Amino acid sequence: MLEIDDDLFEISYKNKVLNLCYKEYELLKLLINNSDKILSRDEIIDNFWNGKQFKSRIVDTYICRIRGKLKKYGHPGILAVKKRGFRLIEAKA
């Protein structure tokens, strides 16, 4: 299970702190807090970058970085749902 520490701006998995930059931290936190649904690229951009105009591929770049960091510690990662968006995969205990 991923654990958020807002005081330290850290997210950990199995008691190991992920080495995330601030934007990665915020995006992963958004996915954790919405783990029960699929977030579209547009929803992520609207929530994460306050509706500023960005190409949707910026989301893919951050997702790719976060996936790599999650994989390093054995977390199953983030699911890309074709033509819908992204959803955090729940890690089995």
Whether the predicted model's global pTM rises above the 0.85 cut = yes
Mean pLDDT for the stretch of residues 40-53: 79
Q: Which CATH architecture has domain 2-88?
A: Orthogonal Bundle (1.10)
Q: What is the pLDDT of residue 89?
A: 93
Q: Which of 61, 75, 51 is nearest to 21 (CA)?
A: 61
pLDDT at residue 1 greater than cutoff 90: no
Q: What is the pLDDT of residue 45?
A: 86
The residue assigned the tokens 């996936």 is 67
Mean pLDDT for the stretch of residues 44-59: 75
Q: Which two tokens stand for residue 16?
A: 């190991």
